[in-house]
Each structure stands twice: as structure tokens, then as C-alpha cells.
Amino acid sequence: MNTPSTFSVGPTHVRRGFWVILPRPPAIACATRLLAGCLMAAACVARGSSGSAAFAQNAEAKYSTWSKVEAAPETRAYKENLREGGGLDATLRALLELTALPQLALASNRSTIERTRRRMRELLLTEIADEKAFEDASQVFLDFFGKLARDEDADLLVRINALLLVGELKAKDGKPWPPTAGPLASAARDAKLPSAIRVAATAGLARHAEAARATGEDASKALAADALPAIVAILQEPVEKDTSVELDWLVSRSLSMLPSLGRWAPKEVAATLPQLLAKLLEDPLRSVDVRVRAAAALGAMVVPTSGVNGPQVISAIRSLAISGLEGDDAIAASRRLEQEYIVLLGAPDATVAQPAGPPGLGQPGTPSTLAITEQVGRRAAWRLVTLADAIAPLDGKGGLAVLSTNTGTQATDLAKILRDFGMNLDKIPDKQSLNDAVAAIHAPATGTPRPQAPQRQPKPEEPAAEEPATDPAASPFDSP
């Protein structure tokens, strides 16, 4: 779930309990751990027979595990020297290159590889006093792990963690270390690399984009030189059946970075970006959430002279909103059918107490009353309000309604319907709210009067709703 600076941020209850990949710095750390876990699991499955091959350092390592490196006398000497302001001399550099950093690839550290990765940064970089020594040590990390991430003979799990570590390198001010942006962007766009490694690189690049957005225009402009070519390359990649899920993730993250960086695109790139985003929005081979994000990015970047066909894009947004809602309804119908089938197989004796099941799934042997789960309702709300903001943001700045071809009130009317019924879905995420939204979005196209969202009240135990979050990071179900 994931945030251009131009997008408004809604209430925390919309995101509560969901995995947020790119929102705010505290969430980034947690999300990266979750992302790493998913990537590591995928790597373990994909490793196969070649995965047992370890780095040559395995047989030559001075210490058999990372914990022994932490306790080693030369490690203590390294820390004391650099803590007191010393430089990174040849001896200390050799400790990094030959003893400490190769530990990430050791099979003996595989079960604790995430902790090993984290402790390497904490132990070997965080207490360096001298600025030049810090830069030198960070460069050793970047060179070593950047090379390891591309080593085809290394274990995939190790390669993923190597690139995650590169993305986690920080400057002394706690922000992502600028020299890592280029290597991360290069790996993110490299279609020859395994998808899991590209995902790790993109996660690190997104961390740079988030920090640059918070820092100011100069930081975003500097990052754009490295990041934009990678983002555009990812957006242009064709959909392949075997990698569609991974590509969706990469495209989603790229779209979330684009609005804050796209303004610094070279003229020849800036001239084609709106058409590229419109193509993504209209592409039926893309997932619904990717197309919603494309609309959000397009709405944030479009200007009257962008050369985008306004009515065509508005029509595509209407169709996208309807197809997303109808898809949710079809899934809910299938879920209801499965529940009814389970009940027909034989409900338990009503006179016998049954163990309680997980919340929200109903009692054993009875169909659940939640035809539309709360999470699906929240996601639908996010989609509708995000599309509304793409057309006509509440602050009145930008949006697809500014296009010279969008005359009259058709675009703004659709934006109001999407927002009103999206908020209604967020307040009461059930089948009736979903059906009300579908009917309302259909109405303007059929010439009927613009419908109003019904005045329904949430259940007593539910909090009053605010406007759903509309940033592209907030979708609950877009993460790998």
C-alpha cells in the first residue's frame, strides 16, 4: 500500500493493519523487514539445487559466524580507532573486505541473515566520527555488496540481502546515503536480474524518493537524474505472464515516486510521460491497482498542454472504477457460494457449544454475514477516492479536469460521485455500499440525474469515517 507529495493523506484507520510499503520513515523500516521476509521466502523456494553453492569465503572465513566477528579483538580495535576520529587505513579496510562483510554470504549465518545484515551497519558504520572515514567505509559497503548482488554464483537469498543492505545505507544525518541511488536505480531497471533483486532495489530507491520529497526540491532534482530513467524503463516494460505480479509491484512503486520526480524530467521525457501514464491507465492487462496509481500520477502531473485526450481518459476512469467494484462483487459472490456449500455439507449440532473462530468469519457451520470483507471495502474506497483526486483534487489544483478537452461538468461530476461513494464505502464497507457505488457511477453515462450517496449509519461499534487516504501507498492489497 504506498506517496507523492501532491496527494492528500487520509485517516490512519484506513491504513491500520495493512502493510504499507512506502509511506513514512517509521513505516518504511517495518515495511522493509516485511518485504525482506517475503523476498527471502521466495528466494528459498527459487534457490533449488544451485542454491547450496556458497561464496568461496565459506571455506576461508576466519570466523565461522557473525557473532564471532562481533566479539573479535580486531573488530573492537576497528570501532575504537574510528570512534576516536581515525581514518580508514589499509588494515581497517581489509577487516571489512576480507573478514566482516563476507559473513553475509556464509551458510552458517543463513538462518540469521536479516539480523546479520542489520548488525553490520550498526556495528561497523554508525559510530565513525570522521566524515571522510565514514564516506570511505560506506563506499566499501557499497562496492562489496553491489558486486555481491550481481554475482550469479551467489545464493539468491544472499544477493537479495546484499541489495537490501545497499538500500539501507544511511548518511550521517540519517537519510539514505546519496551514492547508493545510482546503483539501486541501475539494478531496479535491469530486466536481466531476478525479479526479487529488482524489488529489493526499488524498495531502496523509493526510500531515497521519500527522503528527497521531505527534504525539498534540490534533493528531488538531484535524485531525478538517477531515478527517472529507471522509473520510465519500468513503466515501459511489457507485461509477461510469468512475472506479472512482480512487475505490478515494480510499476506501483515507480508510479508512487513519479509525481515528485517527474517535474525534473528532460524535455523529451516530460513530453511523453502523460501519454505513457494514460496508456497504463487504459491497459486491461494491468491490475486494477496499477491502473488506479497510473491515474493518480497522471492527475498529479498533467497540464492543459499535455496532449492527453481528456474525455477518453475520463471514460477510462469511469470504466476502471466500475470494473474494480464489479470484480470485488464477483469475488464476494464466490465467497458466499463457498460458505453456503460448507453449510450444506453439514452444520454442527446447534445444541453443542462450538469453539470460537477468528473474528469476522462467523460461527462454525454458519455462513458469514460479511459478504464484502472490511479490507475489500477499504480498498474499494481507496480506489474511488484516489480516482476522484486524479480528476479534481479537493484543493482545486491540477487534476485531469484542467485539460482543455474536458469541457462542461462531466469530469467534475464524476469526481464528486467517486469521492462521495468512496467515502460511503469507507464508512460502511458492505455489499449494499458497493452496489450503490456501481449504480451511481453508471448513472451519468446513461443520462440519469446525478445520484447522491445514501445517508447510512455505521454499526455502533464502528468509528465515524473520515475521507479515505488517496495516496498510491495506501492500497491494502498491492504488496508482494
**Among the ranges given (20-34, 73-87, 420-434), the one the predictor scored with the smallest mean pLDDT:** 20-34
pLDDT at 377 over 70: yes
Q: What does the pLDDT look like over 242-289, one tens digit per residue?
A: 778 899 999 999 999 999 999 899 988 888 999 999 999 999 999 999
Residue 106: C-alpha distances to residues 59, 93, 247 (Å): 9, 20, 30
pLDDT of the residue at 244? 83
Q: Is 85 left (phi over 0), alpha (psi -120 to 50) or beta?
A: left
Cα–Cα dist 92/114, whole Å? 24
pLDDT of the residue at 374? 82
pLDDT of the residue at 409? 77
Cα–Cα dist 402/305, whole Å? 10
Instruction: Please give the full DSSP string across 403-419, using - where no structure is assigned.
Output: STT--TTHHHHHHHHHH
Residue 373: C-alpha distances to residues 89, 260, 431, 434, 465 (Å): 60, 34, 9, 11, 17
- Pull the grid cell for residue 97: 573486505
Q: Give the residue ranges of DSSP H helices in 131-272.
A: 131-149, 156-168, 181-189, 195-215, 217-236, 244-261, 267-270
pLDDT at 392 over 90: yes
Cα–Cα dist 480/477, whole Å? 9
CB 153 within 8 A of CB 190: no
DSSP 228: H
pLDDT of the residue at 89? 97
Is the pTM above the cut of 0.85? no
pLDDT of the residue at 451? 64
CB 145 within 8 A of CB 162: yes
Q: What does the pLDDT look like over 161-176, one tens digit per residue?
A: 999 999 999 999 999 9
pLDDT of the residue at 24? 37
Q: What does the pLDDT look like over 11-34, one tens digit per residue?
A: 333 333 322 333 333 444 444 444
pLDDT of the residue at 49? 34
